[in-house]
Amino acid sequence: MAQKFLGLNASNRIEETAVSPDYSEFPAAAAVTASPTDPKLVAMNVDGKVVVADKTSSVTACIGYVTETVAADANIKVYAAGEVVGTGLTPNGPVYLTTAGGFSATAPTPVAGEILQEVGRALTATKWSFNPQEDIKRG
């Protein structure tokens, strides 16, 4: 069975495709500022637009990461796999979603109503492998 990926069709609707791109392009709901050395974790809103992921809202659990800056409504490349640049990581340790598209090797302090989401594992002290797990809503 061929692996399926998400992408935009000619009508800007999300659909599955058998093509295996390094990324999928989606419109950004608001301006996003990121770079290869300052990547941002992102989510998808109900309108199918990219938003910055944030542990304070289960609506914005992480589904990918971006490494470029775009204006609102411009298409942005969302990566669903790959190696991400970071700092202060513990090799083979977990990496967690924090706020404003950020990530940390330190598990966030439990707060009711927020989510806990492991988004990958550290490969070295400065690089980690993106692999988001299901988020856990805190009571």
* pTM of the model as a whole: 0.81
Residue type, 90: T
- The pLDDT score that the predictor gives to residue 15 is 64
Q: Are residues 47 and 78 in the same domain?
A: yes
Q: Which pLDDT does position 127 carry in this prediction? A: 94
| DSSP letter for each residue of the chain | ----EEEE-TTS-EEEES---S-EEEEBSS-B--BTTB-EEEEE-TTS-EEE--TT-GGG---EEE-S-B-TTSEEEEBSSEEEE-SS--TT-EEEE-STT-EESSPPPP-TT-EE-EEEEESSSSEEEE-PPPPEE--
The domain in which residue 60 lies consists of 25-82
68 lies in the same domain as 98: no
11: in domain: no
- From 56, 82, 108, give the residue that closes a domain: 82
Per-residue model confidence as pLDDT tens digits over 58-93 = 677 899 999 999 999 999 999 998 899 999 999 999
Report the percent of the chain where pLDDT is more than 70. 83
Q: Are residues 88 and 50 in the same domain?
A: no
In a domain, 114, yes or no: yes
As for how many domains the chain has, the answer is: 2
pLDDT confidence tier of residue 135, bands split at 50, 70 and 90: confident
Q: What is the mean pLDDT of the chain?
A: 86
